[in-house]
Structure 1
Amino acid sequence: MNAPESEKFAVVTGGSAGIGEAACRALAADGWTVYVAARRVEKCEAIAQEIGGIALELDVTDQRSVDKLKELPQVDLLVNNAGGAKELDYLRDASAEDWQWMFDTNVLGTMRVTKALYPQLKEAKGLVINIGSVAGTDAYKGGSGYNAAKYGLRGMTRAFRREEAPDIRVCEIDPGRVKTEFSLNRFAGDEARAAAVYDGKLNLEAEDIAEAIRWVASLPPRVNVDTMSIMPADQAER
């Protein structure tokens, strides 16, 4: 596959729902050819068909799955969105299995994907956008595992930016409370617990973060946006 020089290619991990899906749609509307990458390949295929993109089955915790990304001929933009949290346990009740999953997905998964696509990104003088969280700068009760993972992602992002500047631009976008499947996944499908996170509060929508991703990706190569924190107005007093 030889892409026209004018065509821009983006890979979005966790692209089957939430912020990832919204980012795929926003980027496609802005002229990008988007690889919609996630474990739920059927959903990726449906989204890709709607936006003129390409579906990829991808599990960021599986090195063999990630290695398939090396076959992509051109990548100008990587959005590392795949991630998540498990439970809301105090440290004294922490599950080592949940912590391992959070690190493997949020930190090691981002490393695996970025490393696999590094040659294409270097060749394109491309852009990497890592989706962090305000949890990476502001710890909260019950969040120690997720806080630790997102703090780790933040450190990795900043180091990578310094290592690769100016050849690869690196940005971190840190959302606050966004109403997606995040809490439903965190609480293992418990709809009541998930709904309680958002009830009676202002909540961002996935499209709000997608617009920030689209904007950063639209900037000229001379511009590197370091970090963006985006939260609903009632969370901004934190």
Structure 2
Amino acid sequence: MSFASPVPETEPPGDCPRCPRLVAFREALRVEYPDWWNAPVPAFGDPDAWLVIVGLAPGKHGANRTGRPFTGDYAGELLFETLSKFGLAKGTYQADPNDGYRLQGVAICNSVKCLPPENKPVPEEIANCRPFLAAQIDSLANARVYVALGQIAHQSAVRTLGGKLAAHKFGHLAEHRMPGGEVLIDSYHCSRYNQNTGRLTRAMFEAVFERALAFRP
């Protein structure tokens, strides 16, 4: 299986031991689904990215299965369609890490690298994984704009970029200026639940990236 990671030297090992609950879940899934990725999912995108999308964690039937962020699940369909629409990707997304689909000027880095039970990481797991997010952000020298998908991603991004949560409240399309001059834009997560309930519409999601493009260098 092949994939494009902008900062491979910042990735955790395939058997990362930091979070016992996630390790146990990973090992159980390796028995149940031996052909799946079932390991920390690496970042994906352009090493020269100016825009970084901060996600939550791998989905069970998406990235945890395929090994590429947002690939193979419902959330990824809207995300990659939107990136393609705005010229931020090249190729045709086919829900397969070997589809040749590439991001242009964009990188995706998750707040938590491993699949959490019920898609809900606990605070300790988020904190355990934050050094990897920080290292990846530090490695993306051209990154100036960040899009956080959901509140957990927002909190991880704010902390990683040196901000204070009390000064930066999460809200869809909220914009935050970080201490280093970076711009952080919030979005509701493009999950199946948010789309099906109408909390997040296609137009709302596209508006986030329209705004991000306004800061393109």
What is the TM-score with the length of structure 2 in the denominator?
0.43
What is the TM-score with the length of structure 1 in the denominator?
0.40
Larger RCO (alpha carbons 8 Å, 6+ apart):
2
